[in-house]
């Protein structure tokens, strides 16, 4: 149980284009999903918290107009990197929150490797 | 905000050795979680701890929820090459706070 998928797993795009990454909870409903960014050999950097049916909450320093998040259903959240630039190249990972009794746990997707040329 | 100190930052060990890593905080948590991230993959939940003092095993992995609720440790016994990866702790108190990870390298 608690499986999270991400699509695509890898994407290469040209500078100036937009890229959409999907995050799905396959066997549970997730009111809350999270988007992380990870640079090589570094920790997880939380970008934003996505709540179904409401606006995402962005961490300090993350441009909300550049990283558009939509959480339209209890099983799907999307991250759109708009007008991508080479510095946006990174490993993006989503997670979905499950549980609640006794505690919530985050289950992670397999990640999306974005390369902007 | 809440912060976790995870140590060590990295470990280089010989196959067969035991490994120990821990997370400490000045904040109290209700749940401690331990994840492992393989290269190029997302983190996978290894062990969840829900009670202070709880000791839980998952195969060669053992984790404990500190009595003060401010710390947790993870032990790996008889390491093997596939144990390589980054191990993250997370403390949960409403929201989750992640440690910076321990990178484990196992030499055959």
Mean pLDDT over the full length of chain A: 93
Q: For residue B13, is it left (φ>0), alpha (ψ between -120 and 50) or beta?
A: beta
B88 shares contact with chain A (CB less than 8 Å): yes
Count of other CB atoms within 10 angstroms of residue A98: 20
Chain A CA closest to residue B31: A103
What mean pLDDT comes out for the span A4-20? 97
Interchain contact, B41 vs A102, CB within 8 Å = no
Enumerate residue ranges in chain B where pLDDT < 70: 1
What pLDDT was estimated at residue A53?
Answer: 85
Report the b/e string of A33-54 with b at 16+ CB within 10 A: bbbbbbeeeebbbbbbbbbbee
**pLDDT band, residue A42 (cuts 50/70/90):** confident
Instruction: Give the whole-angstrom CA distance, residue B50 versus residue B106.
Output: 30
Phi, psi of B43 (to 5 degrees): -65, 145
Please measure the distance between the N-terminal and C-terminal CA atoms of chain B and give it in whole angstroms.
Answer: 41
Interchain contact, A44 vs B88, CB within 8 Å = yes
Nearest CB to B31 within list A2, A103, A111: A103
């Amino acid at each position: 149980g608690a499986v999270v998928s991400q699509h695509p797993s890898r994407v290469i795009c040209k500078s100036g284009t937009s890229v959409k990454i999907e995050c799905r909870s396959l066997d549970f409903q997730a009111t809350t999903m999270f988007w992380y960014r990870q640079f090589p050999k570094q920790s997880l950097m939380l970008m934003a918290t996505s709540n179904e049916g409401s606006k995402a909450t962005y961490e300090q320093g993350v441009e909300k107009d550049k990283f558009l998040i939509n959480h339209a259903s209890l099983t799907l959240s999307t991250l759109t990197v708009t007008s991508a630039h080479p510095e946006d190249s990174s490993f993006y990972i989503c997670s979905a929150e499950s549980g609640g009794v006794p505690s919530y746990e985050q289950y992670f997707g397999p990640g999306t490797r974005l390369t902007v040329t | 905000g809440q912060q976790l100190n995870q140590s060590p930052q990295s470990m280089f060990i010989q196959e067969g050795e035991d490994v120990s890593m821990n997370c400490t905080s000045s904040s109290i948590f209700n749940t401690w979680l331990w994840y492992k991230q393989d290269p190029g993959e997302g983190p996978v939940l290894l062990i969840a701890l829900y009670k202070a003092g709880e000791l839980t095993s998952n195969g060669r992995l053992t984790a404990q929820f500190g009595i003060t609720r401010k710390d947790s440790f993870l032990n790996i016994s008889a390491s093997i090459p596939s144990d390589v990866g980054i191990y993250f702790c997370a403390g949960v108190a409403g929201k989750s706070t992640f440690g910076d990870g321990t990178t484990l390298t196992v030499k055959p």
